[in-house]
């Protein structure tokens, strides 16, 4: 509650000078707030720009060290790996997800061998990069099967843990998968591998450029509304998070980010658990194109990221991570 009244109380006094504004600033960004997504592609000597995401690239494994080096130099605590899977390696059941020589597995071994624990590695657990239909799980009659999909996700999670992944991040939105994955990892001796649940992932319109990046956009059959959340709902997010915490999630993710700040704040206030926000590809591309076309200034990037901290996010997955870390 504000006590006092104008003219004795003048809130603008503290805004007059830069030093004063900095002194009372309520939130700030540091390099520790960011996770850098990295897209992988097969081949050699490739740094392939993703047209729908200006300034973001797919890297072959012989090029990936340059990106990891930058992330470590800028003090980022974690990177996230996402594969672009060639069409010939996709099939209806996403079998490539369980191939111990797949792109993510090879990247994990390479990065861990060179960098040890200098930086954490997060891996996405879902089948959409690997299925010919573009869905996150096993499909039957245009419906993603929950329990049968979990059996595959358990194996995918264990494989990634065996290859050196530090943070397993199921983004599939199957009911009960966090508990099943946690038990499976523990049973096989991976008690210390963390689980970041995409507990609140909406069936959003902001994912288009990401689907370009991993090569699932053209193959996607129908939408994902029968497993991802309705963007009209917020109370449902509380139930999703509560279940995942009970099943063993160490952290939870809200995705997309900026359109769902109310959800981030609601979850943080209620559960006091680390809540991560994903500034998704559509958000990134809108901001980048706005700056390119001089509709907004590039300080909009900092503003967009600060709003996540203000809402209560513990960390932010962002394609701006390295560029922003340079300025902090």
Which are the catalytic amino acids?
201, 255
Distance CA 202, CA 324 (A): 26
**What is the CB-side half-sphere exposure of residue 318 using CA atoms within 13 A?**
32
Distance CA 319, CA 256 (A): 13
Distance CA 160, CA 26 (A): 39
Distance CA 77, CA 91 (A): 34
Q: What single-letter DSSP state applies at residue 91?
A: B
Q: At what angle do helices 64-73 and 103-115 cross, to 10 degrees?
A: 50
Distance CA 80, CA 40 (A): 10
Spell out the residues 6+ positions from residue 87 whose beta carbon is closer than 8 angstroms to its own: 215, 219
Q: Which runs of consecutive H residues, i.e. helices, occur in 163-247?
A: 177-187, 208-214, 235-247
Token pair 């690997």 is at which residue?
130
Structure tokens at 95: 């079998």
Distance CA 254, CA 264 (A): 7
For 113, counting Cβ atoms within 10 Å of its Cβ (0-12 exposed, 13-18 middle, 19+ buried), the class is exposed
Integer CA distances (angstroms), 127 to 20, 62, 143, in order: 50, 25, 14
C-beta atoms surrounding 3 within 10 Å: 5
On whether the CB atoms of residues 315 and 278 are closer than 8 A, the answer is no
């Amino acid at each position: 509650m504000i006590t006092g009244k104008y003219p004795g109380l003048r809130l603008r006094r503290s805004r007059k000078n830069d030093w004063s504004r900095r002194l009372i600033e309520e939130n700030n960004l540091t390099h520790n707030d960011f996770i850098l997504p990295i897209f992988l592609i097969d081949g050699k000597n490739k740094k392939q720009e993703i047209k729908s995401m200006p300034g973001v690239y797919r890297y072959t494994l012989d090029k990936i060290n340059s990106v990891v080096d930058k992330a470590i130099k800028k003090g980022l605590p974690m990177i996230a790996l996402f594969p672009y899977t060639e069409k010939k390696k996709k099939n209806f059941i996403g079998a490539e997800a369980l191939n111990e020589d797949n792109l993510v597995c090879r990247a994990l071994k390479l990065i861990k061998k060179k960098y040890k624990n200098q930086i954490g590695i997060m891996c996405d657990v879902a089948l959409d990069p690997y299925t010919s239909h573009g869905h996150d799980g096993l499909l039957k009659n245009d419906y993603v099967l929950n329990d049968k999909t979990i059996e595959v996700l358990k194996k995918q999670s264990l494989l990634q843990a065996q290859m050196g992944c530090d943070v397993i991040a199921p983004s599939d939105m199957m009911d009960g998968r966090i508990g099943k994955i946690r038990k499976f990892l523990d049973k096989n001796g991976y008690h210390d591998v963390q689980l970041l649940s995409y507990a609140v992932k909406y069936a959003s319109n902001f994912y288009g450029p990401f689907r370009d990046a991993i090569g699932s956009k053209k193959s996607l059959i129908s939408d994902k509304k029968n497993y991802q959340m309705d963007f009209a709902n917020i109370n449902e997010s509380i139930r999703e998070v509560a279940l995942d915490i009970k099943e063993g999630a160490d952290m939870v993710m809200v995705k997309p980010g900026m359109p769902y700040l109310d959800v981030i704040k609601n979850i943080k206030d209620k559960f006091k658990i680390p809540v991560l926000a994903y500034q998704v590809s559509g958000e990134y591309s809108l901001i980048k194109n706005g700056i390119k076309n001089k509709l907004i200034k590039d300080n909009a990037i900092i503003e967009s990221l600060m709003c996540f901290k203000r809402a209560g996010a513990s960390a932010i997955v962002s394609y701006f991570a390295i560029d922003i870390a340079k300025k902090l």
